[in-house]
Every structure is written in C-alpha cells, then in structure tokens.
C-alpha cells in the first residue's frame, strides 16, 4: 500500500509537468554550444552559467560548435533600499543583470539580445561589518545562479521555435550588437 502511494505521487508530479530545479528541456541540437562569457569581470556569474549548462547536458568546451551563447553584458548594482533615522543605510539591495543572445550557424540569431535580472535585499547591520561582506558574496552567488536558470529557461522556451524557423529558412543571418544595457 505504501509503495502504491509513492507511485501515485510520482505519477501525479510527472503529469503536472514537475521537474527538478535547474533541469530544462533543451533541444538536442543545442547539446553542444560555445559559451562566450566575460569571465574576467563577472567570474561568479560565468561559473554559475557553465555549471547550469553542464547540468543540463550541454557541452560548452567545443570550439567549433554550431551554436553560440554570447553574454553581451553583465552588470552589478548595489543601492540603498532603506535608511534609519540617522541616515545610515539600513537595508542594501543588490541587482544583477545579464544580456545574452543565442546565435546559430552563419550568425543566425535564434534568440535576440535579451536581458534577465534578479535582485535581493539584506539588512545592513553596522555591528557586523565583516559578516556582511561574506553575506553579500553569498547573495551575489545566489543571484548568479538565478540568472543562469533564467537564461536556460528562456533558451528552453524560445529555442525550439527558433530552430524550427531556422530549419524552414525563415531566419536571416545577423550579428548581435554589443551595446551596453543599463541595470534595471
């Protein structure tokens, strides 16, 4: 009886579209793509993106891949969310935004420049300054992970239609621009 209950739960979850966090349904054509990420500036974000791509079975080590995921811009913004009665920052908000494009063979743009962003606030306790630096680094790692998941989600949602259009000859070769996008 207990085993039948677990089987029923598993079938119910799979029927409603449940899947583990980070697991995306990506077209087989994208299982090998080149990743162009400005790793020097935003190392944590690029590492999180590489991990998510690998976790979803995408090989980014191929230099001659048919598809390229290009990270055009990564911007971090730190701002004061609230202040106390003395004018001291009480709450800090971190914003992280990334602009990307996915191109195919012949520079065909499958997903045009798209910006994803994430933000999180934390309390700025002036008595624990050292701990706040570590907390901010942890939040930046979490935001990087969120952005990586958002990018994979966009690819998962948009790439199948774009690949179909490419196969039908409906997409024109283009080169994505590298204009800077401000943080929202």
The CA distances from residue 8 to 1, 11, 19, 23, 73, in Å, are: 11, 5, 16, 22, 45
Whether the Cβ atoms of residue 30 and residue 67 lie closer than 8 Å to each other = yes
pLDDT in tens, 75-123: 999 888 887 888 777 788 999 999 999 998 778 899 999 999 999 988 8
Residue 1, classed as helix, strand or coil, is coil
Q: What is the pLDDT of residue 136?
A: 85
Distance of CA 169 to the CA centre of its chain: 28
The topology (CATH level 3) of 24-167 is: Double Stranded RNA Binding Domain (3.30.160)
Cα(13)–Cα(1) distance, integer angstroms = 19
* Band of pLDDT at residue 181, cut at 50, 70 and 90: very low
Q: Any idea where the domains of the chain sit in the sequence?
A: 24-167
- pTM (two decimals): 0.74
């Amino acid at each position: 009886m207990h085993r039948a209950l677990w089987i029923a739960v598993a079938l119910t979850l799979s029927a409603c579209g449940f899947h583990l966090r980070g697991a995306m349904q990506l077209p087989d054509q994208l299982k090998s793509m080149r990743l162009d990420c400005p790793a020097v500036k935003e190392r944590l974000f690029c590492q999180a993106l590489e991990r998510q791509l690998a976790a979803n079975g995408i090989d980014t080590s191929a230099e001659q891949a048919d598809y390229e995921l290009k990270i055009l811009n990564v911007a971090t913004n730190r701002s004061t969310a609230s202040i106390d009665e003395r004018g001291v920052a009480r709450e800090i908000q971190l914003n992280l935004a990334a602009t990307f494009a996915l191109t195919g063979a012949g520079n065909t743009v499958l997903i045009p420049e798209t910006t994803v962003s994430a933000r999180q606030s934390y309390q700025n306790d002036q008595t624990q300054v050292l701990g706040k630096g570590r907390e901010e680094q942890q939040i930046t790692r979490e935001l990087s992970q969120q952005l990586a998941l958002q990018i994979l989600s966009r690819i998962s949602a948009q790439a199948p239609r774009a690949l179909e259009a490419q196969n039908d000859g409906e997409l024109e070769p283009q080169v994505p621009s590298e204009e800077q996008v401000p943080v929202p």
